[in-house]
Amino acid sequence: METFTRDLLDAARGFTPADAVFTNALIFNPFTMDWEQGNLAIKNGLVLGIGDYTGITEYDLSGSYIIPGLIDAHVHIESSLLAPREYARLVAPHGTTTVIADPHEIANVAGAEGIHFMLAERSGAGIDILYLLPSCVPATPMETGGAVLDARDLKKFIGCDGILGLGEMMDVSGVLAADPFIGEKLRLFPIRDGHAPQLRGNDLNAYILAGLQSDHECTRRDEAEEKLRRGMYIFIREGATEHNIADLVGLVTRNNAARCCFASDDCHADMLFERGHIDHCVRQAIGYGLEPELALRMATLSAAERFGLSDRGVLTPGRRADLCVVDDLRQFVVRKVFVRGNMVIPSAFMPCTRPPSPFTCRIPSADELRITGSGEARVIGLVPRQILTESLRYTVAAQEIPDLHRDVLKAVVCNRYRERKCGIGLVHGFSLKQGAIASSISHDAHNIIAVGTSDAEIRTAIDAVICSRGAMVAVAGENLTILPLDCGGLMSTLPYAEVVQQLKDLHTVTKNMGSIDDPFMYLSFLALTVIPSLRITDRGLFDVRERADIPLFIQ
Amino acid sequence: METFTRDLLDAARGFTPADAVFTNALIFNPFTMDWEQGNLAIKNGLVLGIGDYTGITEYDLSGSYIIPGLIDAHVHIESSLLAPREYARLVAPHGTTTVIADPHEIANVAGAEGIHFMLAERSGAGIDILYLLPSCVPATPMETGGAVLDARDLKKFIGCDGILGLGEMMDVSGVLAADPFIGEKLRLFPIRDGHAPQLRGNDLNAYILAGLQSDHECTRRDEAEEKLRRGMYIFIREGATEHNIADLVGLVTRNNAARCCFASDDCHADMLFERGHIDHCVRQAIGYGLEPELALRMATLSAAERFGLSDRGVLTPGRRADLCVVDDLRQFVVRKVFVRGNMVIPSAFMPCTRPPSPFTCRIPSADELRITGSGEARVIGLVPRQILTESLRYTVAAQEIPDLHRDVLKAVVCNRYRERKCGIGLVHGFSLKQGAIASSISHDAHNIIAVGTSDAEIRTAIDAVICSRGAMVAVAGENLTILPLDCGGLMSTLPYAEVVQQLKDLHTVTKNMGSIDDPFMYLSFLALTVIPSLRITDRGLFDVRERADIPLFIQ
């Protein structure tokens, strides 16, 4: 963006009127972490400055606070179940003006074509959607997703508008082992996000030395403090199942707020609609005792600096006029939002195109779903409010499954891209008392995953997912409730209000089936083989720490 | 620098020994602005990490502090009177491991060839010398120096090793008027240093909007605070005549220390030798009450971040093992220095080559030095410890000059590059009681400048400068004391110890002549037409605010 023009300089000097002037507000300055009363002038979508200005339009904001536009440092838009433009339409009124997204999910389904779809959706989105390229497609060499992206594939995106760097490097052991294929990817971009849950000590040093610069997987304060100290940016996450603000926000001080950001990572549309987005993170952080100025530093300039976005994050001359207005710092309800100087107003829904979405699989037969044997079995244990799982052991007999009393249910993964046998496991924590649920969202390969109380209902649910070419489904006897995900099997092509309603309907149904809250979010992470401890893939149970397929029963 | 190698990663993990481990020290962490006790391991000149390590060499640093190598955010190496490699040999033992230098002086004398000379001196310098390209050669269109560098000339340096960006943009009025030639230069580099003494309000907004990112010219705290608030990096300068730490250091807080750095700007070799360099700034700042951790943040990571040097400034894995060791934080005497893991030890003097150095001028005739007339005259007033000058008025008669009683002396500037008439003016503040001094250093054109108590001694001094093809000269009757500056007329080719001794000799002589301290430093700024208020050029008196030549006597 050219700022050295006579037109802009004359306006900045006050010789000609600004496009707009915001008067009488307290303006937050992340550089000084304090507030300034003054008149903020903007022109051509850029900040002219705070000073003595008159504008063609003037907004009297007496009693309000102006804050630079909020930035999400790490998000998978696909997890909202919305296509990017619709996602933007939902989060913009919450004050979000920039998101750093990793199109990792669609890339696992549709490869480079999926990324191109996400890039095309930037135009007309209103807010600025910037992408990091998925570094781990597939997540591990053992995965069986829809695509493989090597360094050569990623290199083709260098220089593309909207591409900032390399997304979360989840293959920690590959990095530590100096895997040359990973080295090739790391060398492509100077900006590289990390992903290193529970990594500590010398191995953490090695991971950072390899070139990874951030982490959004901390769940403990001492872990986050060590990573900060070793030079990582810490993205404190408040996602769907991952609620880390309560545990981590105590580490943020005036010394280190510049190295801490907020990230939503994975949030369904209904959560964004009801709770909000980064504004929700700010409210949560303040609620847990963080000074508002530190929370706002994290939500604005810290994220801009982390990604080298020197054109935003603070309202100084020449930067983007991205800003939001609130009346009360603690309640932090965003009243008005401006993106490049334009007020965000409710806009019309724009239908999106669809990326490729293969569903070249079959419904597993009744025989295939059968478990045989008995004894001490490995059971995946959900951890409330986390995406980590525990590796539990239960003494079970196959014919006693489902064990509703002990909440041990069958979990099934069907390869979505190939005709294959499915993987079967056991899971504790869903608390379903009847029926089954299934989804085409299961990180990262996005095979079809189901959990249920009967094989018949599990098969019905999987069938419904395949017939819709992607969906979230709840089956209870004859009743089928469905949210179609016709955009890559991951996202809906509907307006967000309809998606929110369908999600509510699904949640009502699953609640009636006895389920915990948000079962689809937990379900979607059951197959994620890069987060400890026990997972299920289309091959069966997987031990993350051992990086190995393991049998259901302990021999 | 490649960090993704099996060799380095294995060492970081602790599988193989590090090259060196520093044990038992308190290690400063600028990210957290605190200290950590631990073992710091390095290999191949890079930090492996702090952790559980053994090294081929181990340094027990019990009771000491380890600090990342110090960085000077803005310096003109020429002002030290030393060629760059010799400058490096002098400052390295003081803990300086990186300097950001603007070769503005030699560029005014020798153009691009001068810059190439400075670049060639990087090799073998020990420390890292990085350059910003001089943006204002000449300083203003009216200057008559040895070279003109336009955007086309500067563009040829893009991509050169050691070139970081564009140096201090001194032509503030040209920027504000949207001068297209300035715009061309600004567009060349994303990193652009500013220079905006006393600029405030809307015009400051415009200057920042134009793309200038830093300022090292603040003399008042409210000025520095405004610039910080508007998004500029503030380099707090402790130079030869510019001592700004006392007035400015109170503005530095934990909120903004990341936006503040130290700069030496212009320091003679003797000052560096006796006081130190950035270590001196740290001591001064602490002495004026700044918390040591904030001073150290400024001296290390803040400067690295300002210039996008993500490979240094903090001792985290993968960064350069540039560090220094001190025993006491308040005394801050640097005991050991390591650059890329190698200990700095006294090294042999290396003679330098010489850049082009034109002296195509003549000694002014006795007639030319004569002043005629009487009445109210404009007199340049020195301001102690500042490079600003005052515009004074004295009622004088020509035949009464020098007026030793009122300390009004004659000042003369001879164009060094062309046969021309010289410029004559009057100056108050040198306090010379006898003799004359002359120098080939006079910012920025580096014409020959002289001040003295008699025309004969002024002519002798100028003659000596020309005969030496550059020098600082003091003449008192028959006695001539000379420091030859045979490297571009700005620097000496001698070892620093000899230059320091010759400077001492010069200062002893000028002291005996009645002079104030450091008269050559004040002399060198008398012709600097970009700093208020009154200056002298080879055309005569110059009013900086009016940007106009003006007569000696008020008509």
Contact A376, A408 (CB under 8 A): no
Best mutation target, A9, A27, A316, to test chain B (most B CBs within 10 A): A9
Distance from CA of B105 to the nearest CA of A (A): 27
Distance from CA of A105 to the nearest CA of B (A): 27
In this complex, the residue of B9, B36, B230 whose CB is nearest that of residue A210 is B9
Given an 8 Å threshold on Cβ–Cβ distance, is A231 in contact with B50?
no
Query: Token pair of B472, please?
Result: 């600082």
CB atoms within 10 A of CB A390: 15
Given an 8 Å threshold on Cβ–Cβ distance, is B209 in contact with A9?
yes
Q: How far apart are CA B261 and CA B235, in angstroms?
A: 5
Per-residue pLDDT, A83: 97
The burial class, CB within 10 Å (0-12 / 13-18 / 19+), for A524 is buried
The burial class, CB within 10 Å (0-12 / 13-18 / 19+), for B498 is middle
pTM value? 0.93
Query: Token pair of A87, please?
Result: 């996602």
Q: What is the dihedral of CA B37, B39, B43, B49, to 10 degrees?
A: -60
CB atoms within 10 A of CB A323: 27
Residue A384: closest CA among A236, A246, A491, A290: A246
Q: How far apart are CA A529 and CA A508, in angstroms?
A: 30
Given an 8 Å threshold on Cβ–Cβ distance, is B206 in contact with A12?
yes
Distance from CA of B467 to the nearest CA of A (A): 46
CB atoms within 10 A of CB B519: 25
Distance from CA of A235 to the nearest CA of B (A): 15
Query: Token pair of B359, please?
Result: 């002296």
Q: How far apart are CA A246 and CA A261, in angstroms?
A: 14
Given an 8 Å threshold on Cβ–Cβ distance, is A12 in contact with B202?
yes
Contact A144, A413 (CB under 8 A): no
Query: Which residues from A are below 8 Å from B173, CB to CB?
Result: none
Per-position DSSP letters for B3-32, written without gaps between them: ---HHHHHHHHTSS-EEEEEEEEEEEETTT
How many helices (H) and strands (E) chain A has is answered by 16, 27
Per-residue pLDDT, B62: 95
Query: Which residues from A are below 8 Å from B206, CB to CB?
Result: 9, 12-13, 49, 317
Distance from CA of B252 to the nearest CA of A (A): 10
Amino acid (1-letter code) at residue A443: H
Given an 8 Å threshold on Cβ–Cβ distance, is A13 in contact with B183?
no
Given an 8 Å threshold on Cβ–Cβ distance, is A231 in contact with B316?
yes
Residue B274: closest CA among B517, B525, B523: B517
Per-position DSSP letters for A84-100, written without gaps between them: HHHHHHHHGGGTEEEEE
Q: Where are the alpha helices (DSSP H) in A52-169?
A: 84-91, 104-120, 151-155
Given an 8 Å threshold on Cβ–Cβ distance, is B205 in contact with A13?
yes
Chain A with chain B: Cβ pairs closer than 8 A: 168
Query: Token pair of A330, please?
Result: 């603690």
- pLDDT tens-digit profile, chain A (555 residues): 689 999 999 999 999 999 999 999 999 999 999 999 999 999 999 999 999 999 999 999 999 999 999 999 999 999 999 999 999 999 999 999 999 999 999 999 999 999 999 999 999 999 999 999 999 999 877 888 899 999 999 999 999 999 999 999 999 999 999 999 999 999 999 999 999 999 999 999 999 999 999 999 999 999 999 999 999 999 999 988 789 999 999 999 999 999 999 999 999 999 999 999 999 999 999 999 999 999 999 999 999 999 999 999 999 999 999 999 999 999 999 999 999 999 999 888 988 889 988 898 889 999 999 999 899 999 999 999 888 999 999 999 988 999 999 999 999 999 999 988 999 999 999 999 999 999 999 999 999 999 999 999 999 999 999 999 999 999 999 999 999 999 999 999 999 999 999 999 999 999 999 999 989 989 999 999 888 899 999 999 999 999 899 999 998
Best mutation target, A1, A33, A209, to test chain B (most B CBs within 10 A): A209
Length of chain A: 555
3-state helix, strand, coil in chain B (%, to 5): 30, 30, 40
Q: Where are the alpha helices (DSSP H) in A200-346?
A: 201-209, 221-229, 245-248, 269-275, 278-287, 292-297, 303-306
Question: Which run of H or E residues covers position A413?
Answer: strand A408-414
Facing residues of A34 across strands? A29
Per-residue pLDDT, A445: 93
In this complex, the residue of B8, B29, B205 whose CB is nearest that of residue A209 is B8
Chain A: residue nearest B29 by CA? A229
CB atoms within 10 A of CB A302: 26
- Mean pLDDT of all residues belonging to chain B: 95
CA distances (Å), A50 to each of A18, B127, B202, in order? 11, 41, 8
Per-residue pLDDT, A226: 98
Per-position DSSP letters for A441-471, written without gaps between them: --TTTT-EEEEES-HHHHHHHHHHHHHTTSE
Strand order in the sheet with B163-169: B70-75, B96-101, B128-133, B163-169, B192-194
Contact A305, A73 (CB under 8 A): no
In this complex, the residue of A4, A31, A210 whose CB is nearest that of residue B259 is A31
Query: Which residues from A are below 8 Å from B314, CB to CB?
Result: 231
Q: What SS3 state is found at B172?
A: helix
Contact B419, B466 (CB under 8 A): no
Distance from CA of A173 to the nearest CA of B (A): 12
- pLDDT tens-digit profile, chain B (555 residues): 589 999 999 999 999 999 999 999 999 999 999 999 999 999 999 999 999 999 999 999 999 999 999 999 999 999 999 999 999 999 999 999 999 999 999 999 999 999 999 999 999 999 999 999 999 999 877 888 899 999 999 999 999 999 999 999 999 999 999 999 999 999 999 999 999 999 999 999 999 999 999 999 999 999 999 999 999 999 999 988 789 999 999 999 999 999 999 999 999 999 999 999 999 999 999 999 999 999 999 999 999 999 999 999 999 999 999 999 999 999 999 999 999 999 999 888 988 889 988 898 889 999 999 998 899 999 999 999 888 999 999 999 988 999 999 999 999 999 999 988 999 999 999 999 999 999 999 999 999 999 999 999 999 999 999 999 999 999 999 999 999 999 999 999 999 999 999 999 999 999 999 999 989 989 999 999 888 899 999 999 999 999 899 999 998
Amino acid (1-letter code) at residue B411: A
User: Distance from CA of residue B215 to its chain's centroid?
Assistant: 13
Q: How far apart are CA B553 and CA B536, in angstroms?
A: 14
* Cis amide bond preceding A138, omega within 30: yes
Query: Which residues from B are below 8 Å from A313, CB to CB?
Result: none
Q: How far apart are CA B139 and CA B137, in angstroms?
A: 5
Query: Which residues from A are below 8 Å from B49, CB to CB?
Result: 202, 204-206, 208-209, 230
Query: Token pair of B184, please?
Result: 């061309």
Per-residue pLDDT, B1: 59
Per-residue pLDDT, B182: 96
Given an 8 Å threshold on Cβ–Cβ distance, is B256 in contact with A31?
yes
CA distances (Å), A270 to each of A80, A105, A316, A449, in order? 8, 19, 35, 21
Query: Which residues from A are below 8 Å from B13, CB to CB?
Result: 176, 202-203, 205-206
Residue A86: closest CA among A262, A241, A264, A272: A272
Query: Which residues from A are below 8 Å from B203, CB to CB?
Result: 13
In this complex, the residue of B5, B46, B254 whose CB is nearest that of residue A178 is B5
Distance from CA of B381 to the nearest CA of A (A): 31
Given an 8 Å threshold on Cβ–Cβ distance, is A9 in contact with B210?
yes
Amino acid (1-letter code) at residue A195: H
In this complex, the residue of B13, B47, B254 whose CB is nearest that of residue A176 is B13
Per-position DSSP letters for A322-355, written without gaps between them: -EEEES-TTT--EEEEEETTEEP-----------
User: CA angle B412-B244-B34, nearest 5°?
Assistant: 150
Query: Token pair of A256, please?
Result: 């280190």
- Residue in this structure with the two tokens 């009016």, named with its chain if needed: B546
In this complex, the residue of B177, B211, B256 whose CB is nearest that of residue A3 is B211
CA distances (Å), A369 to each of A333, A366, A378, A423, B285, in order? 49, 5, 17, 8, 73
Best mutation target, B9, B28, B254, B311, to test chain A (most A CBs within 10 A): B9
Given an 8 Å threshold on Cβ–Cβ distance, is A211 in contact with B9?
no
Contact A423, A413 (CB under 8 A): yes
Per-residue pLDDT, B242: 82
In this complex, the residue of A209, A253, A310 whose CB is nearest that of residue B12 is A209
Per-residue pLDDT, B386: 82
Query: Which residues from A are below 8 Å from B12, CB to CB?
Result: 202, 205-206, 209
Best mutation target, B166, B202, B320, to test chain A (most A CBs within 10 A): B202
CB atoms within 10 A of CB A361: 20
* Cis amide bond preceding B64, omega within 30: no
Contact A338, A321 (CB under 8 A): yes
Query: Token pair of A439, please?
Result: 């989804």
Question: Which run of H or E residues covers position A56?
Answer: strand A55-60
Per-residue pLDDT, A1: 60
Quote the longest CA-to-CA distance of chain B.
84
Query: Which residues from B are below 8 Å from A46, CB to CB?
Result: 209
Distance from CA of B55 to the nearest CA of A (A): 14
Q: What is the DSSP letter of A125?
A: -
Given an 8 Å threshold on Cβ–Cβ distance, is B5 in contact with A318?
no
Query: Token pair of B406, please?
Result: 């009122």
Query: Token pair of A496, please?
Result: 């967000």
Sign of CA dihedral A58, A63, A68, A69: negative
Helices B496-512, B84-91: crossing angle, 10 deg rounding = 90
Given an 8 Å threshold on Cβ–Cβ distance, is B209 in contact with A33?
no
ipTM over 0.90: yes
3-state secondary structure A382-395: ECCCCCCEEEEEEE
Query: Which residues from A are below 8 Å from B182, CB to CB?
Result: 4
Contact A115, A356 (CB under 8 A): no
Distance from CA of A193 to the nearest CA of B (A): 15
Residue B377: closest CA among B430, B428, B431: B428
